[in-house]
Amino acid sequence: MTAVHVLILGPPGAGKGTQSSRIAERFDVEHVTTGDALRGNKDMDISDMDTEYDTPREYMEAGDLVPDAVVNAIVEEALQSADGYVLDGYPRNMEQADELTDMTDLDVILSLSVSRDELVDRLTGRRVCDDCGTNFHVEFDQPEDDGICDDCGGELIQREDDNEASVNNRLDVFDDNTAPVIDQYRDDEGFVEVDGEQTPDEVWADIEAAVENRT
Ligand code: AMP
């Protein structure tokens, strides 16, 4: 059988990135993430797409959505070269959801739910390894040595969009644009809601069971 197609949905800070890495490893599929793809190409010239700004950087630093044409192209290319995948960070609005329907089918649609207060705490205290991308938290998940990644020794940094103003805007953008997308998937056969406020291992246990159930 072909490798599994997983979509993981949820607000910023819900743990999509962490859980997607585990899905990719456990089920031997590709981790397709628009956030990482855009962070690696923040200064690409998108002026020919008739966008308000000439690069993704301005949108991302404010916590606004990068224009659909840019992200649709990234996802289309990534999915074409992937057999199985876990898709993380897309779709974030109805137009992107319609594009995705035209691009591929989905076996499992996971939705991580976390309260807004918890998300603000998680995101504003988050620190990320500049080298390997592992997440830490100033209070809930401190590294052994201050500012240094436990996994690879890289430097821990705060993402430019993890300041309070951008975080609040990102959560508003989620409520206005992405929450309706999740509601649209709710009746699909492969839809599974997961309590994202559990420990990462408990969240993983739910996710692993849900994906196993569909493979
Ligand atoms: P993330 O790492 O998923 O939180 O994404 C970081 C930022 O990248 C977002 O706040 C957006 O500015 C941009 N971004 C990521 N995915 C998308 C998407 N599907 N549509 C538009 N913008 C996106």
Supply the DSSP string of 73-91, one letter for each residue: HHHHHHHHT-SSEEEES--
At 51 the pLDDT is: 87
Burial class (CB in 10 A: 0-12, 13-18, 19+), 100: buried
Q: Is 77 left (phi over 0), alpha (psi -120 to 50) or beta?
A: alpha
Token readout for 93 is 């609005």
- Helices vs strands, H then E, count in the chain: 9, 8
Q: The domain at 5-29+83-213 falls in which architecture? A: 3-Layer(aba) Sandwich (3.40)
Cα–Cα distance measured from residue 141 to residue 121, given in angstroms and rounded to the nearest whole number: 12
What is the model's pTM?
0.94
- Which among 42, 170, 186, 214 is annotated as catalytic? 170
Question: Is 57:44 a contact under the CB 8 Å cutoff?
Answer: no
pLDDT over 70 at 160, yes or no: yes
Average pLDDT, the chain: 96
Mean pLDDT of 183-212: 97
Question: Is 195:93 a contact under the CB 8 Å cutoff?
Answer: no
**Please, which residues have CB within 8 angstroms of residue 96's CB and are 6 or more apart in sequence?**
68, 71, 72, 90, 181
State pLDDT tens for residues 82-92.
999 999 999 99
Give the CA-trace dihedral at 160, 165, 171, 175, to 10 degrees.
-140
pLDDT over 80 at 194, yes or no: yes
Whether residue 91 has a cis bond before it, omega within 30° of 0: yes
When pLDDT is cut at 50, 70 and 90, the band that residue 70 belongs to is: very high
pLDDT over 60 at 42, yes or no: yes
Give the residue among 112, 114, 152, 117 at the shortest CA–CA distance from 136: 152
Token readout for 118 is 């918890």
Contact residues of ligand 1, CB 6 A cut-off: 12, 34-35, 38, 59-60, 63-66, 71, 89-90, 92, 96, 161, 170
Question: Is 29:23 a contact under the CB 8 Å cutoff?
Answer: yes
Cα–Cα distance measured from residue 115 to residue 80, given in angstroms and rounded to the nearest whole number: 35
Backbone angles phi, psi at 6, to 5 degrees: -115, 135
Catalytic site includes residue 170: yes
State pLDDT tens for residues 90-129.
999 999 999 999 999 999 999 999 999 999 999 999 999 9
At 50 the pLDDT is: 83
Give the closest residue (by CA) to ligand 1 atom 5: 35
Mean pLDDT of 34-48: 94
At 167 the pLDDT is: 97
When pLDDT is cut at 50, 70 and 90, the band that residue 49 belongs to is: confident
Give the closest residue (by CA) to ligand 1 atom 14: 35
Token readout for 45 is 């010239």
Cα of 13 vs centre of ligand 1, distance in Å, is 12
pLDDT over 60 at 18, yes or no: yes
At 65 the pLDDT is: 96
Give the closest residue (by CA) to ligand 1 atom 3: 35
Mean pLDDT of 53-71: 95
pLDDT over 70 at 1, yes or no: no
